[in-house]
Amino acid sequence: MRAPCASRIPEEHGATAQGIPAMQSVERRARFNRVPLPYRILAVQLVVALLVASLLWWWWGAAAGRAAIAAGVVAVLPNTLFAWRVLAVTPQGVAESVAAARRVLAGAVFKIVLTVALLVVVFARVRPEPLVFFGVLILVQFVYWLAPVLDGPPRSRERTK
């Protein structure tokens, strides 16, 4: 039996057999896609770092937790500044495209320099467990492999449905 609201929703708008419009999931995805992909990746990196740090703190103690938090900071902070700098302006022409390319290159250099500086500070001041630190650092960097999942389905598939 069809729900009463289904008769009021035209089939072309994606009404399902249960009367729940399929557009709700499309609207939810559109709301999610308003946040640029680099910021979504950064959010997942932060969540992974905090989750792993809390688990390590609970299982192996405060030293492992501090090492994991330090690794999260070393991984996420330079990436955040890089994403912010690169996404600050959208180029509108050839001259602005060249400037945007220079901004990306300068941002990448700044990201590497900041990462090295943070590594020096962390190992000089915090003295983390190296195995835990580099393990969490590598794990947080692997979040980039989730970019296709975080970006959603390819646009070409959405148009053919």
* Lowest mean pLDDT segment, chosen from 13-22, 56-65, 142-151: 13-22
Instruction: Report residue 90's pLDDT band, with 50, 70 and 90 as the boundaries.
Output: confident
Instruction: Give the per-residue pLDDT at 156.
Output: 53
- Mean pLDDT (whole number) for 134-161: 77
**Bigger pLDDT: 26 or 109?**
109
pLDDT reading at 119 higher than 90: yes
User: Bridge-partner residues for 15, per DSSP?
Assistant: 21
Residue ranges per domain, the chain? 1-34, 36-160
Instruction: Check residue 32 and give its pLDDT.
Output: 56
What pLDDT, on the 0 to 100 scale, is given for residue 2?
Answer: 46
Q: Is the pLDDT of residue 55 over 90?
A: yes
Mean local confidence (pLDDT), 138-158: 77
- Taking only the tens place, the pLDDT of each residue in 28-43 is 555 556 778 888 899 9
Q: Give the pair of three-digit tokens for residue 86.
A: 């690169």
Alpha helices in 12-154 (DSSP H): 23-33, 37-60, 62-86, 94-121, 130-141, 147-151
C-alpha 26, offset from chain centre: 20
Residue 99, pLDDT > 90, answer: no
Q: How far apart are CA 68 and CA 103, in angstroms?
A: 31
Q: Which of 12-21, 134-143, 147-156 has the lowest mean pLDDT?
A: 12-21
pLDDT band of residue 89 (cuts 50, 70, 90) is: confident
Percent of the residues in the chain that have a pLDDT greater than 70, as a whole number: 74
- Mean pLDDT of the region 4-29: 51
